[in-house]
Structure 1
Amino acid sequence: MVVKSVDAVDALRRRGSVYERFGVHPIINGNGTQTILGGSIMEPEVAEAMAEASRTMVVLEELNEAAGQLIAEHTGAEAGLVTSGAAAGLTLQAAAVVAGEDPERIALLPEAAHDRNQIVIKSSHDSEFTQAWRQGGARLVWVGNEETCHDWEIESAISGETVALGFIASRWHPDSFEGLSKFVEIAHGHGLPLLVDAAAMLPPAENLRRFIEYGADLVSYSGGKAIKAPQSTGILCGRADLIAAAKLNASPHYSIGRPMKVAREEIVGLMAALELYVRRDHEADMRRWFSEGRTIVDAVIEIPGVTATIEQDDWLRPVPEVSIAFTSEWGGRSAEAIVNALAEGDPPIIIEASRRDDEDIFINPHGLMPGEAELIAERLQVEFEAG
């Protein structure tokens, strides 16, 4: 059944009534799974599992153990832990390699009780999230430049003060699994663990196991993006000894991770969402995203000065995105002005002006509900034709 755009608006009003009760405006999210927009929409089964969990008390250590076993099963890791988001997972990674299971060192964090606290990382991997490693007591040693990093530079940066190598898996830098494999080789050649931030590297679903298969020792994923768990959750998986150390540095223990508490309802929500994710028909998701993208492209492709395509790549753009660019024929408003107009509409539509030189606007359909692609297509067509 095709859902019309007007029906999509009515459905948004119904789903978002609790927000409107408090004066908050529900949005149509054409911008993927960004935290600033709340991540993703949980499946009803996840919300039901959380509600059920809220009515009963358990010992958190037992629940964490069960969750860890489930995570290990589905990631191929030795052990796992539910964290309060992927960034919290990075802080616990650092704490695990800097303080380990030593009570005195754990109590001192984020100050390190010794000089062996360095994580070596490529300069091209710099991001807002590397602060999370520093929060866990690590000192970051940057090597190379924003574009290149030679193996010898990594090797020469490793010293007696190095506790790990760090790898940020991101759509925004040129590294891929080939680069990861080399980093693993260097780290393990020096008897060091490799820590990976893979927060947004799902889909493809194969990536849930791929980083461990490549030899990473600790991997942090977001729970609130593709997995559709509560936005406040994440997955940390890896070597059993390092997960054991991460647990001691995490809540409910009195440690650096105490403020990063994960409620029992959230842990159960992550577990339920993970089970759904591994059983999900990912090919059907891909077909739906392509179809929604095609709806948008077809609506604007004939407008003078506008080009529109669908782009998909397992590393750079795993979810098929609509890529819109203005040619020399375009005489209308800027991409930013059009994006702002959509955000100020009723209902607000959130898409993004691109940071790429060959692209002006992109639309990610991951968070779209039935009929919302049609609504975006209609609104974009109006804005483009208005110039």
Structure 2
Amino acid sequence: MTERVWPEVYKKLGVSPIINAQSWVTALGGSIMGPEVRQAMDDAANAFIDIKKLNLAAGEVVARSCGAERGLVTAGCSAAQVLMVAACMTGQSEENVEQLPDTTGMKNEVIIFKGQRNRYDKAFVTAGGTLVEYGEPGSVTSDDLEAAINENTACVAFVVAPFIDHGIGLEETIRVAHEHDVPVIVDAAAEVPPRSNLSKFHKMGADMVAFSGGKGIGGPQSAGVLAGKADLMEAVVMNSLNLDSSVAGIGRPMKVSKENIVGMVTALQLFTDSDEAAEWAGWQSKAEFVAERLAGIDGLRVVIEDDPAERQGPQPVLYFEDDFDGPSIADIKQQLEDGDPGIYVGGGGSREEINIVMVNVQDGEEIIIADRLNEILRS
């Protein structure tokens, strides 16, 4: 794809498509669903269905894919975060479910390592919980977590994401929490691929794990997957669906349409069955093309990096040395975004770099990216 594609639906609205080299970010539309997923959603739209039965059937697919006892399709990962905490606070009490966000009489503290605080963790308190920080980045110990746990602790939250400090690590977090019979919930929104991560955190003993559905899995952007221990997942269902009673749980505004449920499980099955090595090789090839085209620019160092702790697949990372005599990172990014089509890349902010994430770069777009960067950096 070297020619600009402007679907008619966007053209009518006057909104021009862009090249996404910034990753599966919500602000740029997540990922692009495959034709099988879109067809499945279209098919689902043409019939009425018992939503409870559909949720249970889809949950079985999620559970199998994640190696967990029970699963559920949610309205994105953030909704799953809300529901995980709600379940830990209410248990399977209908009275508690109906009472939220008032947590009077319930354990309502969500413990989180200070180094993992992020702009998305508000979801952990949406149901009425209270965040309690522990430890300092660079010096946190298991004793810090021990000291934070008390009779009001509902759960310990752990965040797995690029550039996030893992503190004492998930395995040790689980060990300490479980010694006090406290569940551990995991926000792993963008941690697939690799596909092994779907089950990795469950095998480590995590009680519930949430993933975004519209990122690496390739499902609808407004869907997610949540899986975990059966008793807690039953409490999740009560807080989100609870179709057997008159109770409207805290998750009622986060309901998932039949189309999104079907699209999500279809994408999940395609994702787990697909060739991860071939996918990776495609990203590597595009990364190498861009890196080679940017070679020889004074003051610019281009490195292909693929550390899964920081990078989503192989990507060219542009580092600017002291002798670089060109525009600032902010100016470069602005010029890319102002082009036709606009190109959105990662980096900047607290990191003096530009990273070009290949996971959403369509075939041929790496040529456009390389040409535009050469035009800006060599001028």
TM-score, normalized by length of structure 1?
Answer: 0.94
SS in 2 for 1:283: helix
Q: Which residue of 1 aligns with 2:152?
A: 161
61-70 vs 141-150, greater mean Cα deviation: 141-150
Q: Which residue of 2 aligns with 1:94?
A: 85
Matches within 5 A, 1:146-185: 146-175=137-166, 179-185=169-175
8 Å CA contact 1:252–1:258 kept in 2: the answer is no
Alpha-carbon distance in structure 2 between the residues aligned to 1:67 and 1:315 = 30
Q: Which residue of 1 aligns with 2:225?
A: 235
Aligned mate of 1:117, from 99, 108, 119: 108
8 Å CA contact 2:312–2:357 kept in 1: the answer is no
Alpha-carbon distance in structure 2 between the residues aligned to 1:233 and 1:336 = 32
8 Å CA contact 2:298–2:323 kept in 1: the answer is yes
Alpha-carbon distance in structure 2 between the residues aligned to 1:148 and 1:41 = 41
**Runs of at least 5 residues in structure 2 that lack an aligned partner in the other structure:** none
SS in 1 for 2:79: helix
8 Å CA contact 2:67–2:199 kept in 1: the answer is yes
Give runs of ≥4 in structure 1 deviating > 4 Å.
none
Q: Which residue of 2 aligns with 1:360?
A: 353
Deviation of the 1:295 alpha carbon? 0.9
Letter of the 2:276 partner, please give it.
H
Give CA-to-partner distance per residue, 1:88-134, whole Å, 9 cap, x none: 00000011011122122112211203152112111011011211110
SS in 1 for 2:313: strand
Q: Which residue of 2 aligns with 1:276?
A: 270
Alpha-carbon distance in structure 1 between the residues aligned to 2:305 and 2:272 = 25
Using the aligned pairs only, state the percent identity.
36
SS in 2 for 1:319: coil
Does residue 202 in structure 1 map to residue 192 in structure 2? yes
Does residue 266 in structure 1 map to residue 260 in structure 2? yes
Does residue 379 in structure 1 map to residue 379 in structure 2? no
Aligned mate of 1:309, from 281, 303, 308: 303
8 Å CA contact 2:190–2:211 kept in 1: the answer is yes
Q: Which residue of 2 aligns with 1:74?
A: 65
SS in 1 for 2:306: strand
8 Å CA contact 2:111–2:149 kept in 1: the answer is yes
8 Å CA contact 1:106–1:255 kept in 2: the answer is yes
8 Å CA contact 2:346–2:357 kept in 1: the answer is no
SS in 1 for 2:2: helix
Give CA-to-partner distance per residue, 1:139-161, whole Å, 9 cap, x none: 11100123331111110111111
Alpha-carbon distance in structure 1 between the residues aligned to 2:331 and 2:242 = 47
Q: Which residue of 2 aligns with 1:4?
A: none
Deviation of the 1:232 alpha carbon? 0.1
Alpha-carbon distance in structure 2 between the residues aligned to 1:162 and 1:229 = 34
Does residue 192 in structure 1 map to residue 185 in structure 2? no
Alpha-carbon distance in structure 1 between the residues aligned to 2:47 and 2:192 = 32
SS in 2 for 1:88: helix
Letter of the 1:64 partner, please give it.
N
Does residue 64 in structure 1 map to residue 58 in structure 2? no
SS in 2 for 1:237: strand
Does residue 218 in structure 1 map to residue 208 in structure 2? yes
Q: Which residue of 2 aligns with 1:328?
A: 322
**Count of matched residue pairs:** 375
Letter of the 2:204 partner, please give it.
Y
84-93 vs 313-322, greater mean Cα deviation: 313-322
Alpha-carbon distance in structure 1 between the residues aligned to 2:24 and 2:92 = 34
Deviation of the 1:217 alpha carbon? 0.3
8 Å CA contact 2:312–2:359 kept in 1: the answer is no
8 Å CA contact 1:251–1:260 kept in 2: the answer is no
Query: Do the aligned partners of residues 115 and 69 (structure 1) sit closer, same or farther apart at CA in structure 2, a change above 3 Å counting?
Result: closer
SS in 2 for 1:128: coil
Letter of the 1:130 partner, please give it.
D
Deviation of the 1:252 alpha carbon? 6.5
Q: Which residue of 1 aligns with 2:123?
A: 132
Q: Which residue of 2 aligns with 1:3?
A: none
